[in-house]
Amino acid sequence: MIYAGAAAALLLALALALARAVLGPTVFDRVQAANTIGTLAVLLLAVYGFLTGRPDFLDLAITYGILNVIGTIAVLKFFSYGDLGEPGEDAEDART
């Protein structure tokens, strides 16, 4: 069954992206890995809907895609403020 094979391949890709999110030395690596995990989750939901013969799962995939848009906006906000939430700066903000 090709759907099961595609779902297994997507799960393998998810595991690799998760490894980068855990290992990533900088915060940018983690954000990029989270973005990739979001994309892969949308694809996995779509494929799983076909695998079980219930394409209703596509609605969940659309919802997850829109949540990914919100993640994108959060990344853009990070960029425009130039602040990526380092612990030291948070403590500074709390004092002032």
Told to check if 65 binds other proteins by CB under 8 A, we report yes
Burial class (CB in 10 A: 0-12, 13-18, 19+), 74: exposed
Residues 6+ apart with CB under 8 A from 32: 20, 24
51 binds other proteins (CB under 8 A): no
What number of chain residues touch other proteins (CB under 8 A)?
45
Q: Which residue, 26 or 96, is less far from other proteins as judged by CB? A: 26
In whole angstroms, the minimum distance from the beta carbon of 95 to other proteins comes to 23
Q: Contact between 17 and other proteins (CB under 8 A)?
A: yes
